[in-house]
């Protein structure tokens, strides 16, 4: 079979950052009408390849041809005008504009120079609806969880697949970890959309750390390791084991370990007790008890209130009913400080806006929570600080292992690890993890899950939220099921509990 001509070809791509060679001589090609996976560990250079292609970063070497013509984009706008639509890894929208405005910003429907607001809202509602999202497009974007924001970014860049036919001119669609915070249903919607576009001849570049997803939608894959190309294969020619081996350069066996369901040690006396805690518009009043050393996993669909529940337990939002007692003492929960003082830590799902301070270094970001708890007058002694930071950089394998590196310059997965390190270092009694493995590669993900298990064995309680139900099921003693912003069931985990049992509960809203 004669291969068609690639729509995009990159050869010998080199990109250097101070002290880091992010890409050294990478070749990459993309054919029309294919879904092409770009794979590699955290920091392998996937996002960087996308950014040099689309003109976010300048190129230090190599050539790019689009449709047979040599190109070099000076800005993302140019790339877009040439037909490359990109959804970057970190959602880049305007949180205080409405969903509709975000979708159409810069290309609002106008008549006689005036924006047709009604039409804009209607169109936006249609677009969102086709993706199976039930949201109010006139509400500000920031009022929705990250997953919705991610979908809005996707809708913004491609419409729903029909607009391409109408001549938006997209030849190449790039999705950098679009599924990292989506639930199964949204993933399926997204895949359907990707397939529609593929049929229309759009070439799609897809980045994900979920290997199952790769095997589900992709035709071809390119694997990077440490900024070099290690291979391009048809998905059908390489199985998962072979792929993982390519990605990390050695066989991965610890993964299997976790799969044999480790239900660990028992739990201790009650630690936290929430009575009728609730917030209008957030989550209906709920009762929840968390014991010492217990891992509680939260399951539910997008928008079911998992994050809202977690935020209430941390005082990130103020509850308007109920009370919380921790270790027998009532805690006011009027601000995160109160919860932190009582030994609660909260690792937000949204590391960019609610987590990291991009301008500060890895070290500064890691010690921030601990330092805030000590107050400004008592800096952590330098030697102790450096020791702690080095310990956690090593334990979580943060790369580059340079405490002086600016966090904003780390790859997405490594930023996530910094956020984890920040809270681990405070040795909380209750650790709330909202999507802690978002954007983390397969090896590190197993490491983090093992870490949760061992923390719980050491007596730390964990509230664990993850889009992947298997992940929740694997780690939790108890599974809290949420539906329509209500905690509908709390199920003790056991051999008879399966993902389908949980899904049933989510669907029916009750637990038999």
Partner 1 sequence: MTTTSRWRALTHHQLFWPVAVLVVLLLVNIPFTPDFFSIRMSDGHLYGSLVSIVLFGSPLILVAVGMTLVIATGGIDLSVGAVVAIAGALACSYMSGQADQNALSGVLLAMGLALLAALVCGLWNGFLVARMGIQPIIATLIIMVAGRGVAQLITDGQIITVNSEPYKLIGGGYWLTLPFSIFVVAVVVAVTVALTRRTALGLLVESVGGNAEASRLVGIRSRRIKIMVYVFCALCAGIAGLMISSNTSAADGNNAGLWIELDAILAVVIGGTSLLGGRFSIGGTVVGALVIQTLTTTIYTIGVPTQTNLVFKAVVVIVVCLLQSPKFRAKVFGTKGRGRATGPAETAAVAEAAPKMEVSR
Ligand X SMILES: Nc1ncnc2c1ncn2[C@@H]1O[C@H](COP(=O)(O)OP(=O)(O)OP(=O)(O)O)[C@@H](O)[C@H]1O
Q: Of the ranges 149-157, 305-313, 335-343, 408-416, which one interacts with Mg ion (CB under 5 A)?
A: 408-416
Helix (H) or strand (E) holding 494: none
Choose which of 180, 361, 411, 449 interacts with ligand X (CB under 6 A). Answer: 411
State yes or no: residue 208 binds Mg ion (CB under 5 A).
no
Q: To 10 degrees, the CA torsion angle through 349, 351, 352, 353?
A: 60
Choose which of 86, 350, 414, 437 interacts with ligand X (CB under 6 A). Answer: 414
**Euclidean distance between CA atoms 272 and 295, whole angstroms:** 12
Residue 341 CB, shortest distance to ligand X, in Å, is 33
Among residues 418 and 506, whose Cβ is nearest to Mg ion?
418
Please enumerate in sequence order all residues whose Cβ is within 8 A of that of 186, keeping only pairs 6 or more positions apart, or say none.
131, 132, 133, 147, 151, 179, 302
**Euclidean distance between CA atoms 201 and 214, whole angstroms:** 19
Among Mg ion, ligand X, partner 1, none, residue 335 binds (CB under 5-8 Å by kind): partner 1
Token duo for residue 5:
């001509």
Among residues 43 and 343, whose Cβ is nearest to Mg ion?
43
Please give the backbone phi and psi of residue 486, each rounded to the nearest 5 degrees, phi first: -145, 135
Helix (H) or strand (E) holding 225: strand 220-225
x-or-dash string of contact with ligand X, 40-79, rule CB under 6 A: x-xxxxxxx-------------------------------
Parallel, antiparallel, or unpaired for β 295-300 and 478-482? Answer: parallel
Among residues 92 and 321, whose Cβ is nearest to partner 1?
92
DSSP symbols for 408-432? GGS-HHHHHHHHHHHHHTT--SEEE
State yes or no: residue 54 binds Mg ion (CB under 5 A).
no
**Euclidean distance between CA atoms 372 and 375, whole angstroms:** 5
User: Computed from CA positions of residues 58, 51, 348, 453, in that sequence, does the dihedral angle turn out positive or negative?
Assistant: negative
Q: Of the ranges 87-95, 166-174, 399-407, 496-504, which one interacts with Mg ion (CB under 5 A)?
A: 87-95
Residues found in the chain:
512
Q: Which residues bind partner 1 (CB under 8 A)?
A: 16-19, 51, 56-58, 60, 75-76, 92, 314, 316, 335-337, 340, 346, 348, 353-361, 364, 367-369, 371-380, 402, 404-406, 408, 422
State yes or no: residue 409 binds ligand X (CB under 6 A).
yes
State yes or no: residue 48 binds Mg ion (CB under 5 A).
no
State yes or no: residue 22 binds ligand X (CB under 6 A).
yes
**Residues near ligand X (CB under 6 A):** 17, 20, 22, 40, 42-48, 89, 400, 409-414, 439, 441
């Amino acid at each position: 079979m004669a291969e068609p001509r690639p729509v995009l070809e990159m050869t010998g791509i080199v990109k250097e950052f101070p002290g880091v060679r992010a890409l050294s001589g990478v070749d990459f090609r993309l054919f029309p009408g294919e879904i092409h996976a770009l794979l590699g560990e955290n920091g392998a250079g996937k996002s960087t390849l996308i950014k040099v292609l689309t003109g976010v970063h300048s190129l230090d070497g190599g050539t790019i041809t689009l449709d047979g013509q040599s190109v070099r984009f000076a800005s993302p706008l140019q790339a877009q005008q040439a037909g490359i639509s990109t959804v970057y890894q970190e959602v880049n929208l305007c949180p205080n504009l409405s969903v509709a405005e975000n979708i159409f910003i810069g290309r609002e429907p106008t008549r006689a120079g005036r924006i047709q607001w009604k039409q804009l809202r209607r169109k936006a509602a249609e677009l969102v609806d086709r993706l199976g999202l039930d949201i109010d497009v006139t509400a500000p974007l920031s009022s929705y969880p990250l997953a919705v924001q991610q979908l809005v970014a996707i809708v913004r860049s491609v419409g729903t697949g029909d607009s391409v036919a109408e001549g938006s001119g997209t030849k190449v669609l790039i999705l950098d970890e679009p599924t990292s915070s989506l639930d199964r249903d949204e993933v399926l919607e997204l895949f359907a959309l990707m397939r529609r576009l593929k049929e229309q001849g759009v070439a799609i570049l897809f980045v994900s750390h979920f290997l199952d997803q790769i095997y589900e939608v992709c035709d071809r894959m390119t694997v990077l390791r440490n900024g070099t190309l290690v291979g391009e294969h048809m998905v059908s020619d390489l199985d998962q084991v072979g792929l993982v081996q390519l990605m990390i350069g050695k066989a991965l066996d610890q993964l299997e370990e976790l799969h044999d369901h480790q239900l660990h040690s028992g739990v201790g006396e009650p630690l936290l007790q929430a009575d009728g805690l609730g917030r209008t518009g957030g989550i209906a009043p709920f009762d929840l008890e968390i014991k010492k050393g217990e891992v509680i996993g939260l399951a539910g669909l997008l928008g079911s209130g998992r994050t809202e529940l977690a935020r209430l337990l941390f005082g990130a939002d103020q509850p308007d009913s109920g009370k919380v007692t921790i270790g027998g003492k009532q805690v006011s929960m009027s601000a995160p400080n109160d919860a932190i003082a009582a030994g609660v830590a909260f690792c937000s799902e949204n590391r960019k806006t609610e987590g990291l301070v991009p301008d500060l270094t890895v070290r500064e970001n890691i010690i921030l929570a601990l330092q805030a708890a000590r107050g400004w007058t008592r800096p952590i002694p330098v030697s102790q600080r450096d020791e702690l930071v080095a310990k956690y950089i090593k334990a979580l394998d943060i790369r580059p292992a340079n405490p002086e590196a600016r966090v904003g310059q780390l790859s997405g997965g490594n930023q996530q690890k910094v956020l984890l390190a920040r809270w681990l270092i405070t040795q909380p009694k209750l650790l709330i993890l909202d999507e802690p493995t978002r954007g983390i590669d397969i090896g590190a993900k197993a490491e983090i899950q093992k870490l949760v298990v061992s923390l719980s064995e050491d007596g730390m309680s964990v509230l664990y939220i993850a889009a992947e139900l298997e992940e929740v099921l694997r780690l939790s003693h108890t599974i809290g099921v949420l539906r329509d912003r209500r905690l509908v069931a709390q199920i003790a985990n056991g051999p008879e509990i399966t993902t389908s049992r949980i899904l049933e509960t989510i669907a029916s809203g009750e637990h038999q």
